[in-house]
Each structure stands twice: as structure tokens, then as C-alpha cells.
Structure 1
Amino acid sequence: MKKGIIRPLVICIFRNDESILVAEGYDPVKDEYYYRPIGGGIEYGEKSAEALIREVREEIEADIINLKYLGTVENIFTFSGEVGHEIVQVYDAAFVDTSFYTEELCEGKEDDGKIFKIMRIPISKFQNGELRLVPEGLLDLI
């Protein structure tokens, strides 16, 4: 996260029945877990759909099809005591390899090599406040 920069991002919910695919994150300052669909930064000269395809390949080595744009969320947030600002393009899509729909838990890898947990969670757990979904406003799109 760079101070004073609005970051363009793309994420994908990979909805299956009444669940979505999310990565688990942790804010050490707030001492709380949060969940966010996978995706990443949109590079200069790259369309959001292209960025999503690239990010999913990089993070979980998967190919995706049937991308459907759901909307945009502007996200101003605090993480680890720092303020961040993102414009987030939100998609749904399908995996070419259908085993991604049956696995309960898998791992992804950030470009810096950091490993993170990915899991499928029922949307109802976010709707009832049991778990925190970010970015704020995402539930309204799905």
C-alpha cells in the first residue's frame, strides 16, 4: 500500500451456489481477520478483465472463463494503521478446472512469495456479520 495513491484493483467472487471464494487476511493493529475475493492490481495499459486473468494465474495457477462484470466499489479503509484507497472492479467467473469448486481450502501465492489461505465460504456468514467481507459494499453487488 503506497501513501497518497489510489490503487486500481480487480477481484473475482467465483460464486458457486450460495458461496464465494475468498482469501483470509489479518490486520495486526485491529487484531481481526477479514476475507476478500482473490485478484490484484491492474497494471498501466491493462484492462481489468486481462488483469483478473493474469492475477488468478499468478496466485493460484488457474485458468478462468465466462467473466461477468458485476460493478465497481470505491474502498477507503485502514489496514495496519495506514489509510488506503482503492477503486475495485468486481467480477464473477468460472474455473476451467472444476476441482476448484470441490476443494474446501487451498493456498495462493502473492508476487512477493507470501502464501495465503483461500477458502469457499457461504455468503450468509458475511450477511449475518459472523465474518467480515472486504471491500465494504461488496455484498451489495453480489
Structure 2
Amino acid sequence: MNGQIRVLALCVLRQGNRILVRETQDPHDGRSFCRPLGGGVEFGETSQAAVRREIREELGVELAELRLLGTLESLFSYAGRPGHEVVLVYRAEFADRQLYAQTELPGQESDGEAFMATWRSLDSFDDTCRLVPEGLLELVTSTT
């Protein structure tokens, strides 16, 4: 991560006890982890605008009722390299409520990589598939 601190805006989309996440594996150690959708805040962009843009780019959908849950600072290792992120965590609803009926939502990263976002129960996260960044599970469950 070349010594840079990244600022991210993530979106917690919740349906009862489940949240929408993307599951990924660390190419260095093969460990799985899940993260809500979202991404980097660009220069001159608010974190709220960034989370709306990221969800629009990744899923092609609009958000409603966006509110800030909190901010987390994350020191981690990915692909064998250290990383440092300041993460603004938002809670939102889909503007199109019919999206909650889908078990999976196809997405696409800015580099064209396709992925599948899935609903996972909050009690399903453990050492076999962590919810990142660290502290996110506690933040989500304490601000129902």
C-alpha cells in the first residue's frame, strides 16, 4: 500500500439479521474475509457522495436513507503487504425495495472484475470468514 492511508466509505445494507457483503480471499494466505460494499473516497468528494457513487458503480442501484454509523481505523495485512485505512461506515436502504428479495446481487469493480454480493447472517462471521474492517461487527450490532 506504499505507505498511504486510504479513506474508504462502506455501506451496510441490512435485512433483519443479515447484511450484504462481498466475500474475498487474501491471495497471500488464502484466508476468506467479507466486507460490505463501498470503496475509496476521491479528492474533493464527501464520504456520503463516495458511498452513493460506489454502490451505483458496483451494483447499478441507488441508495436511500443514508446515515453515518461511525468511523473505524484499520491496520491490516493484505497480499503480504501492510495497509492502513480510515473507514467511514454508513447504513443505508436500497431505493428499490425489491432488491431485498434477491439472494445474490451481481456486481462489478471499477477494474471490470465481476463479483457476487450475498446476504450473510451477522452471527455467521468467525475465524473461517472474518467481517472486516476490525470492529465493524460490533459497530453494526450496537447500532441496530
TM-score between the two structures when normalised by the length of structure 2: 0.93
Corresponding residue of 1:122: 121
2:136 maps to: 138
Residue 26 of structure 1: aligned partner: 25
How far apart are residue 130 of structure 1 and its match? 5.2
- The residue that corresponds to 1:79 in the other structure is 78
Q: Distance in 1 between matches of 2:16 and 2:35?
A: 18
- C-alpha distance in structure 2 between counterparts of 1:50 and 1:95, whole Å: 15
The CA RMSD measured in Å over matched residues stands at 1.1
TM-score normalised by the chain length of structure 1: 0.94
Letter in 1 for 2:29: K
1:61-76 paired onto structure 2 within 5 Å: 61-76=60-75
Q: 1:12 — aligned with what? A: 11
Residue identity matched to 2:3: G
Tell me the distance in 2 between the aligned counterparts of 1:8 and 1:71: 13
Count of aligned positions: 140
Query: What SS class does the counterpart of residue 49 from structure 1 fall into?
Result: helix
Amino acid at match of 2:19: I
Structure 1: runs of 5 or more not aligned? none
